[in-house]
């Protein structure tokens, strides 16, 4: 069972519908037992990093998520769910899960913020998420902050005034800055590739 973490933020239903379209057994849940026992975990997010962290703490979901991650099962973070993997965010000055070394930074003032629209992705390393997807393909982004890793976890990037981390991967932990559930056929392919790990 793929469990989508319900912490009161994010477009949960859109993500759930995308997995259902692929024929996956999926459930939206904030139950710690269901999170810990999931075969795969998805943490989507739309909004502010600080609000995300506070909501996770209010619902006592940080420990279950970290417990799940320790077991080596597949995790997919979408947008905020990816940023939360890092050490710290400038958005509210809040700590993340610190699974990856790095900082979530605000896009430069010269850029139109938020970054909203379709951008092409280029690869830094091979990733299961992009299996069968040509480099340069377009995906849909909506964000004002971007992750800057301090270790080699970035597998895809896009350019928007600065080099933006579009995807990360380390062992069974995956993250994407873009929204696969809003990225049409290729977005579904990313989710299908993730599903193949379950």
153-182 in b/e form (b: 16+ CB < 10 A) is bbbbbbebeeebbbbbbeeebbbbbbbbbb
CA distance 121 to 130: 10
Residue 150 is among the residues annotated as catalytic for this protein: no
Residue 24 is among the residues annotated as catalytic for this protein: no
Active-site residue, selected from the candidate residues 16, 169, 181, 192 = 181
Q: For the purposes of burial, counting CB atoms within 10 Å of the CB of 42, is it exposed (0-12), middle (13-18) or buried (19 or more)?
A: buried
Active-site residue, selected from the candidate residues 79, 91, 115, 192 = 79
89 forms beta bridges with 94, 104
Positions annotated as catalytic residues are 79, 179, 181
């Amino acid at each position: 069972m793929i469990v989508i973490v319900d912490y009161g933020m994010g477009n949960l239903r859109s993500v759930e519908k995308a997995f259902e379209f692929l024929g996956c057994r999926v459930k939206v849940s904030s139950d710690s037992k269901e999170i810990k026992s999931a075969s795969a975990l998805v943490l989507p997010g739309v909004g502010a990093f600080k609000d995300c962290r506070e909501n996770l703490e209010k619902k006592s979901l940080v420990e279950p998520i970290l417990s799940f991650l320790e077991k080596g099962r597949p995790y997919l973070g979408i947008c905020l769910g990816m940023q939360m993997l890092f050490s710290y965010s400038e958005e509210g000055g809040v700590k993340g899960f610190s699974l990856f070394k790095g900082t979530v930074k605000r896009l430069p003032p010269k850029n139109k913020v938020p970054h909203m629209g379709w951008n092409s992705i280029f690869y830094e390393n091979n990733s299961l998420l992009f299996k069968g997807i040509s480099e340069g393909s377009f995906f849909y982004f909506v964000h004002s902050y971007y992750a800057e890793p301090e270790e080699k976890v970035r597998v895809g990037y896009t350019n928007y005034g600065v080099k933006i981390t579009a995807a990360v991967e380390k062992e069974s932990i995956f993250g994407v800055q873009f929204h696969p559930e809003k990225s049409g056929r290729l977005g579904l392919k990313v989710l299908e590739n993730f599903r193949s790990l379950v």
